[in-house]
Amino acid sequence: MDSKQRNAHALRNRVNDLMNELLNQYRAILAVAREDDNPDYSQSAQKELAIKEGAMAIVTAAQNMSMFIRDLQELWLFGGLETLADEKDAEVERLKALEVAGLVEGLVGKLPQAWKPQEGEQNGAQNGVA
């Protein structure tokens, strides 16, 4: 899938286009399939051909939908759907991360003195612990 088509707006437009194509072909078949008062062989043959063409167009639209679903699956598997995230969502995630960090700092402040690292200790390697 083209990288320009990996944003939410382009994907929504593609879904709408595929849906409209399928509905328009279905409506076209229904419009052709109306019964006439005085049908003759030529009109029946013409309608039959139009219905067959419409049915093939519906099959093509369904195949296009299937390809679109496959593209979405690839985007999801390989992480390409991250571009769908809204900027507001990123801000909410950042605020949640800050809130969690504050809670963790609060919990660390309440640790018993024996569990807190000494001021000179950065990690266990300085004390000979590997």
Q: What is the pLDDT of residues 103-130, one digit of tens each?
A: 888 877 776 666 666 666 555 555 555 4
State the DSSP code for 71.
H
- In this prediction, residue 47 carries a pLDDT of 92
DSSP class per residue in 41-62: HHHHHHHHHHHHHHHHHHHHHH
Q: What is the pLDDT of residues 69-106, one digit of tens each?
A: 998 888 888 876 655 556 777 788 888 888 888 888 88
- pLDDT greater than 70 at residue 15: yes
Q: Which amino acid, 43?
A: Q
- In this prediction, residue 130 carries a pLDDT of 46
- In this prediction, residue 122 carries a pLDDT of 56
- Residue ranges with strand state E in the chain: none
- Residue 118's region, left for phi above 0, alpha for psi from -120 to 50, else beta, is beta
The mean pLDDT of 30-59, rounded to a whole number, is 90
Q: Which amino acid, 53?
A: E
CA distance linking residue 96 with residue 106, whole number of Å: 15
